[in-house]
Amino acid sequence: MESTSKEFHFEDLIIQTIENKKHLINKDTTVDGMVKFLVEVRDSARRNENYAAYEFITEAFENRLGILLKEQTQIVALKK
């Protein structure tokens, strides 16, 4: 999915930007916002069954950004 052709994938741009500024993760709100946005794009890709984009973003987090993603399910009890 990485841009090896003339196709443009906005995920590439976001990943490249974060990669260039990864030393600012947890130190700069703009970079943290881009990381959060990329997580949301990844989740949207999964929900829309775009598994190529989902895997591409997951691999970029691990291999290019050095970030391991951990998915969790949260259960909340509410009073009736």
CB 58 within 8 A of CB 42: yes
Total tally of structural domains belonging to the chain? 1
Could you report the average pLDDT of every consecutive run of 10 residues in the chain (80 residues)? 59 94 94 95 95 93 92 83
State residue 80's pLDDT score. 80
* Complete DSSP assignment for 37-48: HHHHHHHHHHHT
Compute CA distances 27 → 13, 31, 36, whole Å.
21, 8, 14
Distance CA 44, CA 25 (A): 22
Q: What is the domain extent for residue 25?
A: 1-80
